[in-house]
Amino acid sequence: MHTLDDFGWSSFFEGQVTDDERARWTPGRVVWEGRERYRVSTGHTEWESRLAGRLRHAAATRADRPVVGDWVLTAVHPDNGGATIHRLLARRSRFARAAAGRATEEQVVAANVDTVLLVTSFNDDFNLRRVERYLALTWESGANPVVVLNKADLSADHATWRAEMEAVSQGVPILVTSAQRGDGLAELHAIVRTGGTTAFLGSSGVGKSTLINALLGDSRQEILPIRERDDRGRHSTSARQLFCLTGGGVLIDTPGMRELQLWNADAGLAHTFADVQTLAAACRFRDCSHGGEPGCAVAAALERGELPADRLDSYRRLLREDAFLRSRHDEGARLKRTREAKQIARAVRLQYKLRRR
Ligand code: GDP
Ligand code: ZN
């Protein structure tokens, strides 16, 4: 049996609930999200939940809808095991991406993640540029990253790889693991036990599922798949997306986390490339593009060999990618404003006509 505290309930969330709300509603955490449907755990019980109509209409954008990891206030109906979600509490952190098929809308894929394990593996997947991207996404979300170098059994020379990773991770802890042989799993467990809510980022095949299974261990048998009834009354099952571990810690594993792109990540990029930013602060021109201007501190560091050229390239590429996504977003917002302005103009014209009649 779990309690709300096991799920990560804290004063940050408690402090948002008014006395009146506390009297009427029960706090819970979203452990599964389907289409317009949710599973909310109130600690000991799990409720099949829907959004209250008022909340559905008020949620102007998809970013305002609850997602896995969110804390919500619900009215529970013990007679039928259902619950209605009445309020979404403010998030401590959020992972967002451009909504599928609509580059202009933000979609949150997981909320209230405290620790992110950036998983890469020895040999095949080892890619510093990818780790930089994941670091930017993680800093941007408000969570804290830990780099996990998995498949240690595939390489005899961990020191070289670790040194390369250290140059990129800029002080972020690095853990070497082998899900197969068991190396580093005790340390990984300790991180997850004390790290609040943990999520995994990394390419397919690096061993995320294997690591998750190893972490779940004994908790596994408590985790029944979720049975769902679709609109035609057919039953299907689907995997849970948030797990409470025996001994402490919460894991989030959602499909959405696996397809993350950069999205409005300028703060995250600044954090990830703090070394480049520090150099750039010493350039003669404030808007220096580090492309050959006189007095460029970044170019000087490149020349002295203190800043690797591919790290600067990577920074530039990620900035461009982020700017591109943002420009599409701004264009979408502009079109929406134009549409709304036209609708208002039409409504005003109509009223004017009616009045003249
Ligand atoms: P995911 O796509 O990131 O979830 O990766 P999986 O957990 O499905 O693992 C992909 C493959 O890598 C599977 O065949 C695993 O058995 C294998 N694998 C996972 N961890 C290790 C490891 O530490 N060492 C080795 N050699 N293989 C591993
Ligand atoms: Zn410069």
If you take atom 18 of ligand 1, which residue's CA is the nearest one? 207
Q: Tell me which ligand sits closest to the C-alpha of residue 258.
A: 1
Of residues 328 and 209, more confidence is placed in 209
Range of 12-26, 40-54, 95-109, 199-213 with top mean pLDDT: 12-26
Helix (H) or strand (E) holding 111: strand 106-111
- Within 10 angstroms of residue 308's Cβ, the number of other Cβ atoms is 15
Q: Count Cα neighbours of 273 within 13 Å in the Cβ-side half-sphere.
A: 29
What pLDDT, on a 0 to 100 scale, did the predictor assign at position 58? 72
What atom of ligand 1 comes closest to residue 213's alpha carbon? 7
What pLDDT band is residue 177 in, cutting at 50, 70 and 90? very high
What pLDDT band is residue 261 in, cutting at 50, 70 and 90? low
In the predicted model, what is the mean pLDDT of residues 196-209? 89
The closest alpha carbon to 262, from 185, 334, 314, belongs to 314
- Contacts of residue 234, defined as CB under 8 A and 6 or more positions apart, other chains included, come to none
Q: Is 121 in the pocket of ligand 1 (CB under 6 A)?
A: no
Q: Is 307 left (phi over 0), alpha (psi -120 to 50) or beta?
A: beta
Q: Is 21 in the pocket of ligand 1 (CB under 6 A)?
A: no
What pLDDT band is residue 271 in, cutting at 50, 70 and 90? confident
Q: Is 154 in the pocket of ligand 1 (CB under 6 A)?
A: yes
What pLDDT, on a 0 to 100 scale, did the predictor assign at position 35? 78
pLDDT tops 80 at residue 332: no
Cα of 141 vs centre of ligand 2, distance in Å, is 28
In the predicted model, what is the mean pLDDT of residues 163-190? 92
pLDDT tops 90 at residue 176: yes
Beta bridge partners of 73: 27, 87
What pLDDT band is residue 265 in, cutting at 50, 70 and 90? confident
Q: Is 208 in the pocket of ligand 1 (CB under 6 A)?
A: yes
In the predicted model, what is the mean pLDDT of residues 68-85? 93
Cα of 150 vs centre of ligand 1, distance in Å, is 8
- How many Å apart are CA 62 and CA 22, to the nearest integer? 26
Place of tokens 């804390």: 71
Of residues 119 and 319, more confidence is placed in 119
**CA distances to 6, 17, 162, 251, 253 from 190, in Å:** 16, 31, 21, 13, 18
